[in-house]
Structure 1
Amino acid sequence: MRRKPREKRPFSLKYVPVATDGGPDQVLTIENHTEVSVLPTLAFTPISVYGHELPHVVTQTVNGSHLGGPLLPAGGTLRDILRFDGPGSRQVRGVRVELAAVEEIDHPALEQDTRSVMIDLEQKATDEPADFWGIGLVNPNSFGVTVRVSLLEFEERERDFPRQVVDVVTLQEDVDLASVSNHVIWLPEDVRGQFHEVVHHLRQPTYA
């Protein structure tokens, strides 16, 4: 007797408290296995290394997925970085994630992922804050997209604790990227060398 194959869930979630590839810690990835683009709103319950809930810890996200707004394209991926505050925040080693709401929207599936990178004066990718003079944005798709861009500053590493975001500066205006295009945004002098990472996420289109 053949077993009936399990139906794939419409969304899957993965949380990595400490990165092993040199990237940011406390990264949440949500994958959309449907053919519909959505605006998800997520709810979080922080968990200790022993599996206990930490009720006094407040969870926030860099891209705002706890508030709704970031766009998760059909068949695509949304990444967000979590920050934990309050008594017990240093004990967080996991998180229980629930989809509090999902709004379907009309947006095409991405052909390829959009990208954002830190660049130096020669417009070459860099991971050194001192050389971080600008933001490079790439849209390899055959249609325009709208992205929201944020600069992140991280705390100094303390023992084996996850490294938390201590400051987030989000560009005042969302950026409209034309089809198959590159775009450069130069940073003001007063913020150069301050930030360690640039991130972006898709928003509902504002382009014509």
Structure 2
Amino acid sequence: MVGVRRQRKPQPFTVRYVPVAADGSLDQTLSITNNTDVSVQPTLRFTPRSMYGMELPHVTTVTVNGSHLGRAVLPANGTLTEVLRFDGQGSRQVRGVDIELVSAEEIDHPALENPTRTVMIDLEQKATDEPADFWGIGMVNPNPFGVTMRVSLLQLEPRDRDNPRQVVDVVTLQEDVDMASQSNHVIWLPEDVRGQFHDVVHCLVPPTFV
């Protein structure tokens, strides 16, 4: 008798949490990948855990891009990257997190051919990772269709040895940005906020672009 190995059906969504980034980028990030041909707006729920796997019941978890409230779009066959914020007693002890997909509302949004991007730029419109040189936001949509992007500025606490670096303040632009197909855009920061933020992130939201 010949044994037959059945291929395991791929999960519709896969998640990956990184408490401390090895490359110096943002800590406490979550990537959720959509392995289906349908775009969705996921609503996520989190259970933070210590390095020993113990649940931290007094810690609250929110996301920068709003996926804990079902606000961000996860494109078909695409990836949504979130930054998690922990607060409450024990928030400094978080090293892992359980993720529950509460719901995934289907949405009419095309699959991305290439990722959209936001970067910090200096006065010469060159990418920078120095807060003192962070004068503007460079935005790129390389896709052959328009998208709507929600952009947030992040202020981080000082680095404390090898501990995760927490987000201490988030400023989300008051208006979402409609990006035409295969387009670039620059948003200059007001003088009173220059030098205060350490990074910029974005997510896709339901399109208002026509």
Task: State TM-score, norm by structure 1.
Answer: 0.99
Match of 1:145 among 130, 144, 147: 147
**Residue in 2 aligned with 1:156?**
158
2: CA distance between counterparts of 1:89 and 1:199?
A: 22
Distance in 2 between the 1:204 and 1:83 partners? 24
Structure 2 unaligned regions, length at least 5 = none
Distance 2:209 2:92 in 1: 42
Match of 2:200 in 1: 198
SS at match of 2:27: coil
Return the match for 1:124 from 126, 134, 138: 126
Number of aligned residue pairs: give it: 208
Matches within 5 A, 1:23-172: 23-172=25-174
- How many Å separate the matches in 2 of 1:83 and 1:173? 22
Matched, 1:207 2:209: yes
1-side partners of 2:79 and 2:161: how far apart? 31
How far did 1:159 drift?
Answer: 2.5
Q: CA deviation at 1:207?
A: 1.1
Q: Distance in 1 between matches of 2:7 and 2:45?
A: 29
Aligned mate of 2:190, from 166, 185, 188: 188
Query: What SS class does the counterpart of residue 70 from structure 1 fall into?
Result: coil
Q: Deviations over 1:82-119 (max 9, x none)?
A: 01111111111000000011100111000000000000
Structure-2 separation of matches of 1:136 and 1:113: 14
Uncovered stretches (5+) of structure 1, i.e. residues with no partner = none
AA matched with 1:12: T
Distance 2:200 2:208 in 1: 21
Distance 1:30 1:177 in 2: 23
Over aligned residues, Cα RMSD in angstroms? 0.5
Matched letter for residue 4 of structure 1: R
Q: Which of structure 1's runs of 4+ aligned residues deviate more than 6 A?
A: none
Q: Partners of 1:185 and 1:89 in 2: how far apart?
A: 34
Classify the secondary structure of the residue corresponding to 1:79.
strand
Amino acid at match of 1:111: E
Percent of residue pairs bearing the same amino acid type: 73
Instruction: State the 1:160 CA deviation.
Output: 2.0
Q: CA deviation at 1:205?
A: 0.2
